[in-house]
Amino acid sequence: MPPESSDLLQGTLEMLVLKALTLEPMHGWGIGHRIGQLSRDALEVQQGSLYPALQRMLRKGWITSEWRVTEHNRRARYYRLTRAGRRQLETEAAAWARASAAVNVILRARPAEG
């Protein structure tokens, strides 16, 4: 049974997909699998939302796709990061770091005494 998965926001999912693709091009299923791996199974990608996200990112030009043959001799669609995608990843990662730091500060704050 996979551990409790948290809902991923759309923007966050896209960021993770970009990160997953930095290593090497991958097909759709593989991306979802890799994200799960990288997060040490803490995150499970809702598969129904992965492909729409890939379509959006294709349209925005952050990734490109091509049909290739896998090692098992099956045809699959591979996605690859573009330069614009790499830049986007940097931007989003920085924004995420800032946002999460701010949220952390708020969460750690204790009510004033007295």
The residues binding another protein (CB under 8 A) are 27-30, 33, 46-49, 51-53, 55-56, 58-62, 67, 74-77, 84
CB of 89 to another protein, least distance (A): 14
CB of 55 to another protein, least distance (A): 4
Q: Is 44 helix (H, G, I), strand (E, B) or coil?
A: coil
CB of 40 to another protein, least distance (A): 17
- Closest to another protein by CB, 19 vs 33, is 33
Residue with tokens 């995608």: 85
- Closest to another protein by CB, 24 vs 103, is 24
CB of 113 to another protein, least distance (A): 49
- Closest to another protein by CB, 10 vs 100, is 10
SS3 per-residue string spanning 61-83: CCEEEEEEECCCCCEEEEEEECH
Q: What share of the chain is helix, strand, coil (3-state, %, to 5)?
A: 55, 15, 30
63 neighbors 48 (Cβ within 8 angstroms): no
Round to whole Å and give the CA distance between 4 and 28: 22
- Closest to another protein by CB, 77 vs 98, is 77
